[in-house]
Structure 1
Amino acid sequence: MINFYFLEKNREKLRLKYLTNKPFSYLIIDDFCDTNKLLKLREQIPELENKSRDYMFANNKFEKSNYKELGPLFKEIYEDLRSERFNSFLSYISSKDVFVDPKNHGGGLHQGKKNSFLDMHLDFNYHPLEKNWFRQMNLLLYLNTDWKEDYKGHLKIEDLRSGKKKELGVPFNRLIIQECGTYTLHGYDMTNFPKGNYRTSIATYAYTRHRNLMEKPRTTDWFPDNNSSLFKKISAKHYNRMVQIKNKLFGSGTAKNQ
């Protein structure tokens, strides 16, 4: 389903864009998939009922990790995203030995329903099961047909080092590849989609292998804005510790790929 011919024909230009984009490395690829196939896939997406575990830091965000079971087209895009051919492309544009998590832990089909938002955050850095896999990239394929700027839901990115920010549109059949690191904040503001229309995407993650851990393993770090409640701000500061305690007692939902 992925337009591999386009990626491979233009890989030099795409590599340059990824490495030089600001505020940190990212790449926008429009018409990433065969349009007709992706439209058919979009028509088959059910309304999701499994709410995100991001609690107070996300609103009305629903997920399905094992989306490949929804039908042949979902299985096709799932297999394309974790293919050696795609891994080779990602490695080339990043100048790193990068590979997509073949089991897509923490990723999946995402729906942001009415008034959905996702606070700015840094993602977990090391894989919950493969302890030397370092999260190098987020891969976000957007499925928002007839998206308009007024609907909001732009992907917001911010570099913690410089404070520089950017907002990226999220129209149908756009893939955004975003570098992951200790400074790569991202999220989205409250949406304004029409009734029955949801901010929809497929998320998967790419890793590099570290022989030795280069950072202290962490869960998601949240950065709520200045208008957030005092309770949310305090919770964000202690979130990492609370999740570590929860995981020891009940196990990690991400590790279970729920």
Structure 2
Amino acid sequence: MNRIDLANLIFEKLNTHKESLKVQFQNSDSSIGYFFVDDLLPEEIAHKITQAFPQPNEMVLKKSIREDKYVAAQMNLYNPLLEEIIYAFQDKRVVEVVGEICDIKNPIPDENLYAGGISMMGNKQFLNPHLDNSHDKDRNLWRVLNLLYYVTPDWKEEYGGNLELWPNGLKEKQITIHSKFNRLAIMETHNSSLHSVSPVVFEGYRRCVSNYYFSLSPLLDSDRFHVTSFRGRPENKIVDLVLRVDTFLRMSLRKVFRKGIKENPHVYKKDK
């Protein structure tokens, strides 16, 4: 299937349930607005997307004290179906209906896949609590929505690899959103949208298709530019201290080098 066929299905699903999804988003017990929808695509298609994922050694391993996961954004290196499903979420109709659900005017998809694309996490891999970078790669637009489409069949919540929201900070219990097969989860991104992915505790890979939407204006009046800002999990006090210093140093560099010292490699360079 191509991106138009896939977008037709995604739009139909979201538009059919638009009013209930609006209520879910508005009533999310959180300062981080979110909603999720299950059975986004026909199961046969979702399975084909799973099967299209590359092997871990064909992806980029991001491994540090901040995170441990496999990612890819140079989509022309992989099965074409993966590029089609990513850009289906950037179809104008899909973008508009998501904007309606989340009450965001004129959201803008990211054709460069800056920090988007596909990801995989296996046993003991994780993503520490963090705030996403506030802007796009050129620092012209504000990041406002994070779209996560999960495509691992039979992935149980107890396996880990689940989205976690920390609306009241790390001293309060997080909200866990199961990375259930064929589930689309969408969350706001702003100066307070602390989130993470719980460590995987299973011998298998959690697969995800990721997109971000941007806007000319931030979601909150209090929003300010920030780099991706990591924290340690509540039980990891020393890691938290190290990551706070790490964020401070990287923010200090950005005051001198507006776009960073080097270009972020996690983009889709379509001229390749």
Question: With structure 2 as the length reference, what TM-score do the two structures score?
Answer: 0.83
Across the aligned residues of Structure 1 and Structure 2, the Cα RMSD in angstroms comes to 2.6
% same residue: 21
Q: Does the 8 Å contact 2:73/2:267 carry over to 1?
A: no
Partner of 1:96: 104
Partner of 1:57: 66
Matched, 1:81 2:89: yes
What is the CA distance between 1:89 and its match in structure 2? 0.7
What is the CA distance between 1:254 and its match in structure 2? 4.2
Q: Select the residue among 175, 180, 188 that pairs with 2:184.
A: 175
Distance 2:267 2:151 in 1: 26
Distance 2:195 2:268 in 1: 24
Q: Select the residue among 203, 213, 223 that pairs with 2:210.
A: 203
What is the CA distance between 1:238 and its match in structure 2? 2.3
Q: Select the residue among 247, 263, 268 that pairs with 1:251.
A: 263
Q: Select the residue among 148, 151, 157 that pairs with 1:143.
A: 151
Q: Select the residue among 188, 202, 226 that pairs with 1:193.
A: 202
What amino acid does structure 2 have at the position aligned with 1:192?
A: V
Distance 1:185 1:154 in 2: 14
Q: Helix, strand or coil: the match of 1:252? A: coil
What is the CA distance between 1:68 and its match in structure 2? 5.4
Partner of 2:12: 5
Q: Helix, strand or coil: the match of 2:195? A: strand
Q: For residues 222-248 of structure 1, give each alpha carbon's deviation from its aligned partner in whole angstroms, at most 9, with x where no partner exists.
A: 120243262x33331122344354964
Cα gap change, 1:120 to 1:73, in 2 (>3 Å):
same
What is the CA distance between 1:119 and its match in structure 2? 0.8
Distance 1:8 1:34 in 2: 16
Q: Select the residue among 67, 71, 75 that pairs with 2:79.
A: 71
What amino acid does structure 1 have at the position aligned with 2:164?
A: K
Q: For residues 63-113 of structure 1, give each alpha carbon's deviation from its aligned partner in whole angstroms, at most 9, with x where no partner exists.
A: 011235423322321221111011111111111121221222111110102
Partner of 1:15: 22
Cα gap change, 1:126 to 1:30, in 2 (>3 Å):
same
Q: Does the 8 Å contact 2:74/2:267 carry over to 1?
A: no
Name stretches of at least 5 consecutive residues in structure 1 with no aligned partner. none
Partner of 1:233: 240
What is the CA distance between 1:149 and its match in structure 2? 2.6
Distance 1:110 1:255 in 2: 13
Distance 2:246 2:268 in 1: 20
Q: Does the 8 Å contact 1:218/1:240 carry over to 2?
A: no
What amino acid does structure 1 have at the position aligned with 2:83?
A: K
Partner of 1:41: 49
How many residue pairs get aligned? The number is 252
Q: Helix, strand or coil: the match of 2:194? A: strand
Q: Helix, strand or coil: the match of 2:187? A: strand
Q: Helix, strand or coil: the match of 1:239? A: helix
What is the CA distance between 1:255 and its match in structure 2? 6.2
Distance 2:213 2:65 in 1: 27
Q: For residues 110-138 of structure 1, give each alpha carbon's deviation from its aligned partner in whole angstroms, at most 9, with x where no partner exists.
A: 01022111111111111121x23111111
Name stretches of at least 5 consecutive residues in structure 2 with no aligned partner. 1-5
Q: Helix, strand or coil: the match of 2:145? A: strand
Give the structure with the larger strand fraction.
1
Cα gap change, 1:226 to 1:16, in 2 (>3 Å):
closer
What amino acid does structure 1 have at the position aligned with 2:211?
A: T
Decide which moves more: 243-252 or 145-154: 243-252
